[in-house]
C-alpha cells in the first residue's frame, strides 16, 4: 500500500512543517484507490495550470493511474518544459500514455480551438489561479485575477455547445473562499458559484485547500530562498495557517474529481493531524534544522544591518511583526456553518459541503458576472466599484483594507 512515506529532500521539509510522515488523506485515498484506478486508468484528461506546484503534483498523481491521453496546458512555457523533463527523466509516464504539453491558457482563443480539436475528454481539471493577495493592490492585476479565477471559466462553460462536455469538471478553490477578507478569496467563492451556475449542463466538484507547504511563491518557499541568499527572514506574527503537502493537495483533487458527490467541495477535516501553525514557529524550525538560532529583531532595518555578522556566528536575524497588510485573516476557515452543512459520509479525514446554488444567490451571481463582463469591455471600473460588487455577490465578504501591501514589506 502506498502510504506516501516522506523520504526526499523536499518531503523532509514537508514533514518538518506538517509533522506527518504519511499523508493525512492516506486512509481515504487507499479506500478509494480502486475507484480512482477504474475512473482514471485509460481515460483522456486535460489539466489546466499543469506547470504550477499543485498542477505538477496532480499530473504525477494522474500518471500513476496510466491514463490513455493527457493534455498539459499552462501559460508558463518554461514551467511546462521543466514538467516534461521531469516526467521523461524519471519515467513517470508509460510509453502508452499520449502526452501533449502546450503553453496556452483558459480564456484564450487558442484554448477554445484546442478543446474543440482534441475532444472528447473524460475529465478536465482547472488548477490555474492567481493566488496572491498582493495581486489585488492594482486595478490591472485585480482584473487579471478576476479573469483567471472565475470569468474565463464562466465564459468557457457558458459557451459549451452540448451538455456534459466531460464526466466531471474540477476547478480548485481555497479556504480563503469562506468568509473572505480579500478579493482573491472572494474570487474563489465566485468560482464555486460559477460551477454551480452551470451544474445542470456540466457536473463538477471542487476542493478547498489549506496552505500548500513550499508551493511556488509561498512564504515558506520564500524562507528557503532567503536562507540560500543569506537574507533575514520576515513574517507576520499574528496569523495562523493550516498546511498540507503537494502530494496531499493532489490526493484531495483526485478524490474530489472522482469520488465527491456532484456539486461538492471537499476540504481537509480538522483534527490533531492538521494543527494551525504560525509562521515564526515554522521559521524557527527551519533555522534550527540548518543549525542556526533565530535572532528576533525589532525592525526590518535592524535585521538587515546585523545580518552578515549574525549568520557568521551561527545566528539568523528574523523580523516578526503583527500583520498590517490588506486581505489577511487571523485564521482561515474551511466551511461556513451558517450557510453550509459539513458531512463526512464517505470520507474519514475529509469534509464535504454542497456548493451554494440557491435561486436568490444565482440571481445575484448573474448580475455580478454581467458587471464584470461590462467592466472588462469598458475598462473604466475602479477597485472601490469591484469591492461594492463583490459585497453584493459573496456571502460573508468583509474586505480587510490597509494602506500597506505585502510588496511594501520585507
DSSP string, 73-137: E-S-HHHHHHHHHHHHHTT-S-TTSEEEEE---TTSHHHHHHHHHH---SEEEE------GGGGS
pLDDT at position 254 over 60? yes
Beta bridge partners of 169: 124, 204
Q: What is the pLDDT of residue 1?
A: 32
- Could you identify the residue written with the cell 460588487? 389
- Backbone region of residue 214 per phi and psi (left: phi > 0; alpha: psi in -120 to 50; beta: other values): left
Average pLDDT over residues 166-192: 95
- Tell me, yes or no, whether 155 lies in a domain: yes
What's the mean per-residue pLDDT of the chain? 91
DSSP 395: T
How far apart, in whole angstroms, are the C-alpha atoms of residue 325 and residue 327?
7
Q: What is the pLDDT of residue 178?
A: 94
Average pLDDT over residues 198-226: 95
Burial (CB count <10 Å: 0-12, 13-18, 19+), residue 155: middle
Of 159-173, 207-221, 268-282, 331-345, the one with minimum mean pLDDT is 331-345
Q: What confidence category does residue 4 fall into, taking pLDDT thresholds of 50, 70 and 90? A: very low
Q: What is the pLDDT of residue 6?
A: 35
- Is the Cβ–Cβ distance between 242 and 270 less than 8 Å? yes
Q: Between residues 287 and 95, which one has the greater pLDDT?
A: 287
- Is the Cβ–Cβ distance between 337 and 179 less than 8 Å? no
DSSP 237: S
**103-156: pLDDT as tens digits:** 999 999 999 999 989 989 999 999 999 998 888 889 999 999 999 999 999 999
- Is the Cβ–Cβ distance between 303 and 317 less than 8 Å? yes
CA-closest candidate to residue 76, choices 106, 43, 51:
51
CA-closest candidate to residue 266, choices 245, 246, 250, 243:
250
Beta bridge partners of 46: 71, 124
Average pLDDT over residues 10-19: 86
Q: What is the pLDDT of residue 324?
A: 76
Q: What is the pLDDT of residue 410?
A: 67
- Tell me, yes or no, whether 396 lies in a domain: no
Domain of 48 in residue numbering reads as 9-229+242-268
- Tell me, yes or no, whether 51 lies in a domain: yes
Average pLDDT over residues 268-273: 82
Q: What is the pLDDT of residue 132?
A: 87
- Tell me, yes or no, whether 137 lies in a domain: yes
- Tell me, yes or no, whether 254 lies in a domain: yes
Longest dimension (CA), the chain: 67
From residue 150, how far is each of 144, 184, 324 by CA, in Å? 10, 11, 28
Find which of 11-15, 267-271, 390-394 is predicted with most confidence, using mean pLDDT.
Answer: 390-394
**271-306: pLDDT as tens digits:** 778 899 999 999 999 999 999 999 999 999 999 998
**The C-alpha cell of 255 is what?**
478524490
Report strand pairing: 240-241 vs 277-278.
antiparallel
Q: What is the pLDDT of residue 8?
A: 36
Query: Does the model's pTM come out above 0.75?
Result: yes
CA-closest candidate to residue 57, choices 77, 83, 76:
83
**The C-alpha cell of 301 is what?**
532595518
pLDDT at position 208 over 60? yes
pLDDT at position 65 over 70? yes
pLDDT at position 360 over 90? no
- Tell me, yes or no, whether 409 lies in a domain: no
CATH number at residue 19: 3.40.50.720
- Could you identify the residue written with the cell 446554488? 357
- Tell me, yes or no, whether 172 lies in a domain: yes
Q: What confidence category does residue 320 fall into, taking pLDDT thresholds of 50, 70 and 90? A: very high
Average pLDDT over residues 383-410: 82
CA-closest candidate to residue 236, choices 288, 277, 181, 178:
277
pLDDT at position 234 over 70? yes
pLDDT at position 46 over 80? yes
- Tell me, yes or no, whether 342 lies in a domain: no
Q: How many domains does the chain have?
A: 1
**The C-alpha cell of 41 is what?**
486508468
Amino acid at each position: 500500500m502506498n502510504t506516501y512515506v516522506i523520504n526526499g529532500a523536499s518531503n523532509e521539509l514537508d514533514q518538518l512543517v506538517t509533522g506527518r510522515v504519511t499523508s493525512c488523506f492516506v486512509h481515504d485515498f487507499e479506500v478509494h484507490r480502486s475507484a480512482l484506478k477504474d475512473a482514471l486508468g485509460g481515460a483522456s484528461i486535460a489539466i489546466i495550470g499543469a506547470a504550477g506546484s499543485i498542477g505538477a503534483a496532480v499530473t504525477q498523481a494522474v500518471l500513476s493511474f496510466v491514463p490513455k491521453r493527457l493534455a498539459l496546458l499552462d501559460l508558463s512555457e518554461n514551467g511546462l518544459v521543466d514538467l516534461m523533463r521531469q516526467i521523461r527523466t524519471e519515467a513517470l509516464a508509460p510509453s502508452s500514455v499520449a502526452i501533449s504539453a502546450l503553453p496556452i491558457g483558459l480564456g484564450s482563443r487558442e484554448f477554445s480551438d484546442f478543446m474543440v480539436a482534441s475532444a472528447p475528454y473524460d475529465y478536465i481539471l482547472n488548477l490555474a489561479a492567481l493566488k496572491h493577495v498582493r495581486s489585488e493592490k492594482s486595478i490591472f492585476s485585480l482584473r487579471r485575477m478576476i479573469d483567471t479565477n472565475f470569468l474565463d471559466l464562466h465564459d468557457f462553460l457558458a459557451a459549451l455547445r452540448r451538455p456534459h462536455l466531460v464526466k466531471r469538471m474540477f476547478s480548485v478553490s481555497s479556504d480563503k473562499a469562506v468568509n473572505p477578507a480579500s478579493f482573491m478569496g472572494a474570487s474563489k467563492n465566485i468560482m464555486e458559484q460559477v460551477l454551480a451556475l452551470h451544474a445542470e449542463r456540466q457536473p463538477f466538484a471542487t476542493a478547498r485547500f489549506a496552505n500548500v507547504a513550499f508551493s511556488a511563491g509561498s512564504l515558506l518557499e520564500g524562507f528557503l530562498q532567503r536562507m540560500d541568499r543569506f537574507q533575514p527572514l520576515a513574517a507576520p506574527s499574528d496569523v495562523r495557517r493550516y498546511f498540507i503537502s503537494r502530494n496531499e493537495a493532489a490526493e484531495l483533487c483526485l478524490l474530489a474529481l472522482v469520488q465527491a458527490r456532484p456539486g461538492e467541495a471537499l476540504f481537509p477535516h480538522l483534527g490533531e493531524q492538521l494543527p494551525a501553525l504560525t509562521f515564526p514557529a515554522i521559521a524557527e524550525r527551519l533555522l534550527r534544522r540548518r543549525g542556526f538560532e533565530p535572532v528576533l529583531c525589532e525592525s526590518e532595518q535592524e535585521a538587515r544591518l546585523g545580518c552578515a555578522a549574525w549568520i557568521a556566528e551561527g545566528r539568523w536575524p528574523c523580523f516578526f511583526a503583527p500583520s498590517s497588510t490588506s486581505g489577511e485573516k487571523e485564521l482561515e476557515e474551511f466551511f461556513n456553518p451558517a450557510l453550509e452543512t459539513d458531512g463526512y459520509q464517505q470520507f474519514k479525514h475529509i469534509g464535504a459541503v454542497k456548493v451554494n446554488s440557491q435561486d436568490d444567490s444565482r440571481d445575484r451571481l448573474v448580475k455580478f458576472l454581467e458587471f464584470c463582463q461590462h467592466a472588462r469591455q469598458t475598462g473604466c471600473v475602479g477597485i472601490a466599484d469591484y469591492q461594492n460588487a463583490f459585497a453584493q455577490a459573496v456571502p460573508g465578504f468583509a474586505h480587510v483594507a490597509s494602506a500597506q501591501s505585502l510588496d511594501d514589506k520585507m
